[in-house]
């Protein structure tokens, strides 16, 4: 009788692994989702960083705000991100806030030169990255990047030429 109970007890424990796996599986899937989502957000951050770098380079060379916006849009869409749910990127003048439907916004600010420092151009790009499955927290994750470069106008370095649309992004 004792051997029968021992064999039955061993057979009954075989289902224990299945129950433990069922308890651990949701945590493993949540961890896997978090790793994948972090990788996607990091990729979007690098794409926004490249777009900002391209925008400030063009602004420092004296390009117009339209050309800067097109370069930022092309970098963002080339990276696989969607600039907006409706249109292309949106220029944000100083003191204004971005609409909730537009994911990508950018701003240019010119810092005039004085006797000791050259003019500088700052470009700020902000992107609302849509989280695939918003388990914890908001449905959008804001990525923002700012770069500053010295003004480089080959024709006349004392005149800031990227003045179309001056000012930082509105918060």
String of DSSP letters for 72-136: HHHHHHHTT--SBSSSS-EE--TT----SSB-EEEEEEEE---SSS--EEEEEEEEEEEPSS-SS
In whole angstroms, what is the distance from residue 143 CA to residue 123 CA?
14
Per-residue model confidence as pLDDT tens digits over 91-135: 565 444 554 456 777 877 777 777 667 788 888 888 888 887 777
Per-residue model confidence as pLDDT tens digits over 21-51: 899 999 999 899 889 988 988 999 999 999 9
Q: How do 120-130 and 90-91 pair as beta strands?
A: unpaired
155 inside domain: no
**Cβ–Cβ < 8 Å for 67, 138:** no
167 inside domain: no
169 inside domain: no
Could you tell me how many residues make up the chain?
171
In the chain, the number of structural domains is: 1
Q: Which range marks the domain in which residue 42 is found?
A: 2-150
Confidence (pTM): 0.69
> Tokens for 92?
């944000």
**Cβ–Cβ < 8 Å for 104, 154:** no
- Residue 110, number of CB atoms within 10 A of its CB: 20
158 inside domain: no
**Cβ–Cβ < 8 Å for 67, 162:** no
Per-residue model confidence as pLDDT tens digits over 143-163: 889 888 888 755 544 444 444
């Amino acid at each position: 009788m004792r051997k029968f109970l021992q064999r039955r007890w061993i057979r009954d424990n075989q289902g224990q692994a299945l129950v433990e796996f069922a308890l651990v599986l949701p945590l493993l899937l949540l961890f896997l989702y978090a790793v994948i989502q972090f990788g996607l957000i990091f990729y979007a951050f690098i794409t926004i960083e490249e777009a900002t770098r391209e925008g400030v380079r063009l602004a420092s060379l004296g390009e117009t705000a339209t050309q800067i916006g097109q370069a930022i849009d092309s970098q963002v869409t080339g990276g696989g991100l969607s600039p907006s749910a409706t249109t292309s990127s949106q220029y944000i003048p100083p003191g204004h806030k971005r609409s909730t439907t537009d994911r990508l916004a950018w701003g240019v600010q010119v810092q005039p030169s004085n006797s000791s420092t050259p003019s500088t151009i700052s470009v700020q790009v902000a992107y609302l990255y849509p989280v695939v499955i918003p388990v914890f927290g908001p449905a959008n994750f804001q990525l923002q990047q700012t770069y500053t470069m010295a003004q480089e106008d080959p024709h006349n370095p004392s005149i800031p030429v990227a003045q179309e649309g001056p000012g930082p992004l509105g918060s």
